[in-house]
Amino acid sequence: MKSIKIAAGIALLALSFTSCKDEKQEKAQRTIDSYVTYVDSVKNVKAEDLKENWNAVEAEYDRRAAEANLALADIKDNAAETEKINTSKAKYEDFKNEVSTLLAPPAASPKQQLRNALFGEGKIGDDMSFSWVNAQNIHSVYQQFVHTVENNKDSYSREDWDEIKLLYEALDSRKNTVEKEGLSSEDNRKIAGLKVKFAPMYTVNRMGAKSEENKEAKK
């Protein structure tokens, strides 16, 4: 009788273990299916409609993807589930690239690219404000401007040189203000040297650019 009870207990324990194991696998399967369903549901929405909430979509995706990958360990023969996860991941990455293209800022115009090169990214916009230039940094601003022009003088068009002249005059105007705000005599001297370097470089190269354009126009 005792042996029967022991055998029954072992059988019950084994059944319980099997039941727990099956339940764990079923839960893992549901987690993976939920991940696949989420990816499909996201892909069914127009990328344009997700722009404003994309950070939340990504956070939710990352959470579900992590859970799905962990769930694989609870499935004994998980080749099929692994394939499902990889397929959904590929789908999501393709869709993510589509959204990223929409979220990317528009490319800067040639004029803005020139301004960025001469002064730094976004320093000079359409308002042409030089309020960020002060007695402490104006020498380095002139330095970057003149050296950038010198390094690229052979590639500028006539329109580029006209823009460069406009920006140079605006910087000079700012210098007149900065001189009254504590510009050191040493920096003033260095700026004067840069201005002497810039003037003939501008004159010669703008004339050259115009001449090249006239030649091209005649062809």
pLDDT digits (tens, 9 = 90+) for 138-156: 999 999 999 999 999 999 9
Of the candidates 175, 164, 167, the residue with the CA atom closest to the CA atom of residue 202: 164
Per domain, the residue ranges of the chain are: 2-103, 110-218
Question: CA-CA distance, 101 to 50, in Å (whole number)?
Answer: 12
163 phi and psi, to 5 degrees?
-65, -40
Which one has a higher pLDDT value, 118 or 48?
Answer: 118
Question: What pLDDT, on the 0 to 100 scale, is given for residue 23?
Answer: 83
Share of the chain above pLDDT 90, in %: 58
Mean pLDDT value across residues 65-89: 90
Of 137 and 46, which is predicted with more confidence?
137
Q: Where does the pLDDT of residue 73 fall: very low under 50, low under 70, confident under 90, or very high at 90 and above? A: confident
Question: Which two three-digit tokens encode residue 2?
Answer: 């005792």
Helix (H, G, I), strand (E, B) or coil at 23: helix
**Range from 17-21, 88-92, 130-134 carrying the lowest mean pLDDT:** 17-21
pLDDT tens track for 46-67: 878 887 888 999 999 999 999 9
5-60 pLDDT, tens digit each: 444 444 444 444 445 567 888 888 999 999 999 999 988 888 788 878 889 999 99
